[in-house]
Amino acid sequence: MNKLAHYLQEHLRGEVIVSDSVRQRYARDASIFEQMPSLVAYPMDESDIRKAARFAWQLAERGRIISITTRGGGSDFSGGAIGQGIMLVTPVHMNKILEFDSKSGFVVVEPGINYAKLQQMLHTHGRFLPAYPASLEYSTIGGAVANNSSGELSVKYGDTKNFVNSLRIVLANGEVIDTGRLSKRELSKKMGLSSFEGELYRNLDTLIEENHDLITKFEPTWTKNVCGYDIFSVKKKDGSFDLTPLIVGSQGTLAIVSEVTMTSADYNPETTVIAAYLHDFGNIEKIIQQVLKIKPSAFEVVDKYSLEQVVKTSPNFLKGSLPSRMPELILLIEFDDPTKQQTKNVKKTLKILEGLQIDYRVETEESERQNLWKLRHSVGSIHLHNDSQTAPLPIVDDGVVAIDKLEQYFTGVYQILEKYNLKIAVWGHIGQGNLHMQPLLDIGQLGDRQKVFRLMREYHDLVLSLGGSISGEYNDGRLRGPYIKQQFGDEIYELFMKVKAVFDPYFILNPKVKIDVTGDDVLPLLRSEYSLDQHIPRS
């Protein structure tokens, strides 16, 4: 057994494992990459995380860098949940609900708690977390915080950061601090500390003040974005200061989350779902712009090819869900308002659809609503029935564009696919201009491996040419990290690098993820085959 593992076994309460079989299990997440960790540890508590971080810091001070990657369910499509050093896996032990206030809706949890388990508990109290990803059955709250995840209800409720009140985090040197919005006076006290925490606040505040004009100029205006670090939300005009927006969405590259305090929302299971059937793209932007004014809770899309593939592989699965004539696109629009308002909003939406001569179906009964939602949720199962060596790869699946650019976006995507003679399923959160698509390729074949990076480059060029963001909800990781500079430009990218250095001067925490990663870094990590036997993809 290596000395590193031996030391950690002596000092951590949780298990430390170096067997090839366990390390191989955590060498992959849901991305196209793989990287074998040196060891896997199941931290029992925050103290174990702190000890591991402190040990890695002390080694770094002596010139030996051992990285730390923290992992939840491993459903990350971007390659952010793999690493070559210490792998801290939180769901084994750090999976508890610590506090819940049914009146305020506040809940305090450990990062490894299963998202669906927490959601089920909240439902019994008439509450829920609206920013859930489709992977909630097997993903964790810690992973959702790391990626700033969102999903089908994000058009109304926004992403995970909207529901994170505060965090307890372990810094790169092993110090433990609490985050939250600080007043100007409280910030001053923090900056006076002689600890690493004090140094962090001083350096970060200086960085923000020195780059105030740059930060203001480049503040994101996309409907959703998890690209880069959210330096833009840290310091407000009143001088208040909060590290939380930086940590949420940072993929474990700035600190390790050991506890999450979240606020939940009122849950109304009595919704109305409308399926709108479009036979061309002519009115798509007009429909979306008009319906968005009514504030739907969900606004999703599935294209014809997606549905044809589901019908081909599971002929009976969508019985009762599809219209007699297969449309080019199906829009799913849901309202979860209180009954009276919901009825009004549905009537307004139907008036819009009728005015544009769009066929539709409306359902309020739960079983029929679920039949309509099958149209959207079934797309993620396509990969389970693929009978060739190809697999749907999550490589060009998270762009966001403005609604008035959607028609250009669809046209551009289909042109790229035609160029490479590829067909692709398109689905996603069309109310926010965030679409997912996964081309069928065999990364065991040299030609297809080369296509992966060409497709990514051309796709990101398209998204950015339309003024969009390359990362809507799946985050950057190793997959999109090399393109962050192209989205934000040299100055903001350099600012992101400085933020990383303030938190993690030795680049111990999940290095080569989001920041300081190039195509040359990730090319050797490309898998020789791709399947999701252990990870059903989120959508």
Of 290-299, 307-316, 405-414, 483-492, the least confident: 307-316
pLDDT of 218-245, one tens digit each?
999 999 999 999 999 999 999 999 999 9
Determine whether 214 is exposed, middle or buried from the number of CB atoms within 10 Å of its CB (0-12, 13-18, 19+).
middle
- SS3 assignment, position 439: coil
pLDDT at 536 over 60: no
pLDDT digits (tens, 9 = 90+) for 144-194: 999 999 999 999 999 999 999 999 999 999 999 999 999 999 999 999 999
Is residue 31 pLDDT above 70, yes or no? yes
For position 534, what pLDDT does the model report?
54
CA–CA distance, 144 with 133 (Å, rounded to integer):
8
Average pLDDT over residues 250-273: 98
Say if residue 383's pLDDT is above 60.
Answer: no
- Of 256, 257, 45, 245, whose CA–CA distance to 165 is shortest? 245
Quick check: 281 pLDDT over 90? no
Measure the CA–CA gap between 119 and 229, rounded to whole angstroms: 27
* DSSP for 2-60, written as a single string: -HHHHHHHHH-SS-EE--HHHHHHTTB-SSSBB---SEEE---SHHHHHHHHHHHHHHH
Cα-flanking dihedrals φ and ψ of residue 427, to 5°? -155, 175
Confidence of residue 538 (pLDDT cuts 50, 70, 90): very low
Confidence at residue 389, expressed as pLDDT on a 0 to 100 scale: 79
Whether 537 shows a pLDDT value over 60: the answer reads no
SS (H, E, C) 261-316: EEECEECCCCCEEEEEEECCCCCHHHHHHHHHCCCCCEEEEEEHHHHHHHHHHCCC
Phi/psi of residue 323, nearest 5 degrees? -75, 170
497-527 pLDDT tens trace: 999 999 999 999 999 999 999 999 999 999 9
Please give the pLDDT value at position 539: 34
Position 3 confidence tier, pLDDT thresholds 50, 70, 90: confident
By the 8 A CB rule, do 345 and 248 touch? no
* pLDDT range class, residue 381, cuts 50, 70, 90: low
What single DSSP character describes residue 339?
A: H
In the DSSP assignment, the letter for residue 406 is: H
Average of per-residue pLDDT across 102-116:
98
Which of 127-141, 306-320, 420-434 is least confident?
306-320
What is the model's pLDDT at position 320?
74
Q: Which of 128-132, 318-322, 429-433 has the lowest mean pLDDT?
A: 318-322
Residue 456 binned pLDDT confidence (cut-offs 50, 70, 90):
very high
Q: Give SS3 for 102.
A: coil
Question: Residue 404: what residue type?
Answer: D
Count Cβ neighbours within 10 Å for each residue of 442-479 and write b for 16 or more, e otherwise.
Answer: bbeeeebbebbeebbebbbebbbebebbbbbbbbbbbb
Interval 269-286 mean pLDDT? 94
Q: What is the mean pLDDT of residues 367-376?
A: 89
Sequence-ordered list of residues with C-beta below 8 angstroms from that of 181, at least 6 positions apart, any chain: 240, 241, 242, 244
Euclidean distance between CA atoms 405 and 382, whole angstroms: 28
**Mean pLDDT confidence for 378-401:** 79
Token pair listed for 449:
């491996």
- Domains present along the chain, CATH in parentheses: 97-266 (3.30.465.10), 272-384 (3.30.70.2190)
Q: Which two tokens stand for residue 397?
A: 């699946």
Least confident piece of the model among 63-67, 131-135, 318-322, 480-484: 318-322
Please give the pLDDT value at position 32.
97
What's the mean pLDDT in 48-74?
98
- Lowest average pLDDT, out of 113-117, 444-448, 490-494, goes to 444-448
| pTM of the entire predicted model | 0.95
Q: Is 90 exceeded by the pLDDT of residue 531?
A: no
Q: Which residues contact 67 (CB under 8 A, 6 or more apart)?
A: 56, 83, 84, 85, 86, 507, 508, 509, 510, 511
Report the share of the chain in percent with pLDDT over 90. Answer: 86
Q: Is the pLDDT of residue 392 over 50?
A: yes
- 40-50 as b/e: b if 16+ CB within 10 A: bbbbeebbbbb
Q: What is the pLDDT of residue 209?
A: 98
Instruction: Decide: 115 and 123 in contact? Cβ < 8 Å.
Output: no
Band of the pLDDT at 18, cuts 50, 70, 90? very high
- Tokens at 10, concatenated: 């002596």
How big is the CA angle at 139 (ends 135 and 145), to the nearest 5 degrees? 105
pLDDT at 357 over 90: yes
Residue-level pLDDT at 384:
53
pLDDT for 313 equals 76
Closest by CA to 253, choosing from 509, 516, 522, is 509
Residue pair 476/443 in contact by the 8 Å Cβ criterion: no
Residue that has been written with the tokens 């985090």 in this structure: 169
- Can you tell me the mean pLDDT for 341-351? 98
